[in-house]
Amino acid sequence: MARLTPANEERARQLIALYPHHRSALIPILHILQGQDGYLSEDGMKHVGELLGLSAAEVRGTATFYDMFHVEPVGKYVVAVCTNIACMLQGAYELLEAAQDQLGIAPGGTTADGMFTLEDAECLALCGNAPCATVNWRFFGDLDPQRFAQLTEDLRAGRLDAEVPPHGTLSRVDRNVGLGAPGQSVHGAGGPPPPVDVAAAAGGPHDAGIELATSLTMTAVIAHEGGRGLDHTGTRTDAPGGTDSQDQR
């Protein structure tokens, strides 16, 4: 698949409607495209550019700047093993070597069956559970070669499908609110949003707030039990202050 599906194009247009300037939706829409195909295809990036009024070069330039985006096909699971100082002292290089032996690939490679891509990562910010790795940005700590082998076996068997979606699914939270600039109208598939009192939003004299809401289909509450990261389902509405376009969940 190359261009955005009709459903994902609709999601993209809804995202565009959240921003005073259309190009501000570029990164969130690239995540939609990567969630669809697992990577950013040339036709897909061209389609995103068409939606935003950007050249293919502008879209590709942004995509290649950030290491979370892949412009070539990768495995269903992108496994990043941290080798920074805390993990290194806890055996990260031995873990990475074991991962290479078990998967039969070097960092940057993808297994012949398309299941795994292996990466040598910088700090993954899970130092308290070193050595650690992420699988499609989901955390797994306190790893050793045996636990890594069990992890890959569980992934192959589908036992972790509820916790680890295929590569590209950054967030299970859809943003549905945006902030308009003064005097500007934002149009999109969902129509223009209601006007925003910027002074009030900043705590001005009107003392009115902006109501934000997110639809949460899966809350990724990271727990660590024997080195495994676990998700827990839940629902949340009316989350004041939640202005980030995407949360990693």
**Does position 59 have pLDDT exceeding 50, yes or no?**
yes
- Whether 85 and 152 map to the same domain: the answer is yes
Q: Confirm whether 16 is domain-assigned.
A: yes
For the stretch 223-234, pLDDT in tens is 334 444 444 434
Region 201-216: mean pLDDT is 40
Share of the chain above pLDDT 90, in %: 66
Domain count, the chain: 2
Average per-residue pLDDT for the chain:
79
Q: For residue 144, give the CATH number of its domain.
A: 3.40.30.10
Q: Confirm whether 60 is domain-assigned.
A: yes
Q: Confirm whether 115 is domain-assigned.
A: yes
Domain that holds residue 134: 77-167
- Whether 81 and 163 map to the same domain: the answer is yes
Region 129-138: mean pLDDT is 97
- Whether 68 and 90 map to the same domain: the answer is no
Region 159-184: mean pLDDT is 74
Q: Which of the residue ranges 54-63, 139-148, 172-181 would you say has the lowest mean pLDDT? A: 172-181
For the stretch 20-38, pLDDT in tens is 999 999 999 999 999 999 9
- Whether 37 and 81 map to the same domain: the answer is no
The 3 state secondary structure assigned to the chain is CCCCCHHHHHHHHHHHCCCCCHHHHHHHHHHHHHHHHCCCCHHHHHHHHHHHCCCHHHHHHHHHHCCCCCCCCCCCEEEEEECCHHHHHCCHHHHHHHHHHHHCCCCCCECCCCCEEEEEECCCCCHHHCCCEEECCEEECCCCHHHHHHHHHHHHHCCCCCCCCCCCCCCCEEECCCCCCCCCCCCCCCCCCCCCCHHHHCCCCCCCCCCCCEEECCEEEEEEECCEEEEECCCCCCCCCCCCCCCCC
Q: Confirm whether 24 is domain-assigned.
A: yes
- Whether 64 and 133 map to the same domain: the answer is no
From 135, 167, 199, the end of a domain falls on 167
Choice between 141 and 172, residue whose per-residue pLDDT is larger: 141
Bridge partners of 134, per DSSP, are 80, 139
**Does position 134 have pLDDT exceeding 90, yes or no?**
yes
Q: Confirm whether 214 is domain-assigned.
A: no
Region 147-170: mean pLDDT is 95
Q: Confirm whether 180 is domain-assigned.
A: no
Q: Which of the residue ranges 30-39, 62-71, 206-215 would you say has the lowest mean pLDDT? A: 206-215
- Whether 90 and 32 map to the same domain: the answer is no
For the stretch 101-122, pLDDT in tens is 999 999 999 999 999 999 999 9
From 122, 137, 167, the end of a domain falls on 167
pTM comes to 0.68
Q: For residue 10, give the CATH number of its domain.
A: 1.10.10.1590
Q: Confirm whether 30 is domain-assigned.
A: yes
Q: Confirm whether 81 is domain-assigned.
A: yes
